[in-house]
Amino acid sequence: MNQAKPIKASNFIEKFINEDLEQGIYQTICTRFPPEPNGFLHIGHVKAVMIDFGTARKYNGICNLRFDDTNPNAEDDEFVESIKNDIHWLGFDWGDRLYFCSDYFASLYEIAVRMIKNGVAYVDHLSKEEIRDYRGTFTVPGRDSPYRNRSVEENLMWFEKMKKGCLAEGECVLRAKIDMQSPNLNMRDPVMYRISYTPHHRTGSEWCIYPMYDFSHPLSDALEGVSHSLCSKEYEDHRPLYNWFVEQSGLEHKPRQIEFARIHVSNALTSKRKIKKLTELGLVEDWTDPRLVTVAGLRRRGYTPEALLNFIEAAGVAKADSVVDIEMLEHFIREDLKEKSPCVMAVLRPLKVTITNYPEGEIEYLEADNNPKNPVMGRRKVPFSRTVYIDRADFKMDPPKKYKRLAPGLEVRLKHAYFIKCNEVIRDAQGEITELLCTYDQQTKSGSGFKGRKPNGTIHWVDTGTSQHIEVRVFNNLFKPGQEDSSNLETAVSPDSRVILPNARIECNFLDINVNDRYQFIRDGFYVIEKDSEQPDKTIFNRIVSLKSTWKKK
């Protein structure tokens, strides 16, 4: 690492780091991102990734990726790989600094033994419930465990038994000896080690005792030479404990913990426990379901890393918690895609239109912009013939006042094409509208400069003979209104959270203008092509976001 210099601070974290550099406390900057491999990353983690990796980058320092794998009951290599993929997709890299807390199990054990010998740790045989009772509350001071004053020799003997697997799970724990009267409950003799016989995803059955996060995390930071441990505000009350463990460890390096507020997004589920439950109940596909705000889910839905990072940057780095409207997130994906994505015409609920005065068997090719906001993307030819599909939502038998679409006797423009007028409605035996018979005005061709009259609006369409069949999936809020915090997930999930439209149509040459796999469906929204390994011949589009936004920048 190069010698770090103060920078122009854009937030309070950088101000603190600048002060440390000016005072000579640190010469180089090293941060770390320490996820638990017990689930996929979500939108909240994106903020931590951006702060941890981004801060190190600003100071020409480094950021380690270290998995906090101290709970074998919940961890899996699948989660390790998904987290690595998500970080790379967001545009960050840890180089050769991939670590696991399990890398330090031997060192942490030695530190624990040293603390026992120094009289600041002891083996406690109280049950989990008894420990909770003895700890007290915010208003009731804690009480010393009857095992708190065991001799060093006795504690070493019991801790060795824990390590060798001579005791049952829950039979005892190793605790730090701090202060049971402390107003900070975290300082009331916290647990350092517990027994677990669940095989570990990396170390197998080599260990049957595992360190607790409050013990392992600060010492892992110190062992790695982390200068600044940047974490969410929930760990602010843990900072005295963080510092205490570092001091008692005997390690020379002293990291500094700095806390920032988490990002909370409205109508977004970030609870790993609930997401896991949703997958187990089959209410979502898996952790990558596009209705979730996991990074993998957002990626599958079509979000770009640029949109997520711009969203996090706009939300800012603060000390106080706040809730950000999910519409703000949607605003940034619209902003990112509006000049990148080709515009195409797609009809989600097709209704056939026959233009009775258009020559049979004739096809003409009309000019269309690939993206009106980005002329560099060029133009394309769109086939037009006697029969086209329009969207059922663009036709009403009995239109309301100020209606701006097609209806009996009304005239609209087919985008890039001609004016058409509806003259007759065809129904099937059940009374369902199956076809509209219309006429067109040859003089009204788009681009001809015709100004004789104004149409009753402009609608999109696709040619029946050349358009391609697609399946469209539209995603809405996962939960029913007001049910986001419900404990009954089976009744809380909205049946309209995913709407599948199996018979949609898209203009034939959309692949020819593809610059990525995202498109803007004219008058509807932004979409991404879904890769379905089980149905490789099927073209599926997921809606990323609608075109309309109600969010306003303040």
* CA–CA gap between residue 450 and residue 433 (Å, rounded): 32
* Residue of 262, 274, 340, 523 marked active site: 262
Q: Extract the tokens encoding 107.
A: 């060192």
Residue 303's nearest CA partner among 518, 497, 81, 501 is: 518
In total, the chain counts a number of residues equal to: 554
The answer to whether 279 and 287 have CB atoms below 8 angstroms apart is yes
Rounded Cα gap, residues 62 and 339, in angstroms = 34
In angstroms, rounded to a whole number, what is the distance separating the alpha carbons of residues 306 and 90? 8
Catalytic residue list contains 262: yes
Instruction: Extract the tokens encoding 100.
Output: 């696991």
Residue in 36, 171, 313, 471 annotated catalytic:
36
484 is catalytic: no
**Residue 508 burial by CB count (10 A; 0-12/13-18/19+): exposed, middle or buried?**
middle
Count CB-CB contacts under 10 A for residue 429: 5
In angstroms, the CA 115 to CA 176 distance is 8
**Mapping DSSP to helix (H, G, I), strand (E, B) and coil, where does residue 280 land?**
helix
Strand partners, 513: none
Helix, strand or coil for residue 213? Answer: helix
512 phi and psi angles, rounded to 5 deg = -70, -20
**DSSP string for residues in 283-342:** SSSSTT-TTS-BHHHHHHHT--HHHHHHHHHHH---SS-EEE-HHHHHHHHHHHHTTTSP
What one-character-per-residue DSSP string does 61-86 give? -EEEEEE----TTT--HHHHHHHHHH
Q: Which residue out of 114, 161, 272, 421 is catalytically annotated? A: 272
Beta bridge partners of 493: 479
At 300, list the tokens: 């599958």
Q: Which of 328, 198, 360 is nearest to 263 (CA)?
A: 328
User: Which DSSP symbol is given to 202?
Assistant: T
Is there a contact between 189 and 115 (Cβ–Cβ < 8 Å)?
A: no
Which residue do the tokens 């509807």 mark? 524
Q: Please enumerate in sequence order all residues whose Cβ is within 8 A of that of 228, keeping only pairs 6 or more positions apart, or say none.
A: 13, 16, 17, 20, 26, 29, 30, 31, 55, 255, 256, 257, 258
Q: What is the dihedral of CA 441, 443, 447, 453, to 10 degrees?
A: -70
Quick check: helix, strand or coil at residue 475? strand
* Biggest alpha carbon–alpha carbon distance for the chain: 101
Partnered with residue 499 across adjacent β-strands are: 474
Catalytic residue set:
36, 262, 272
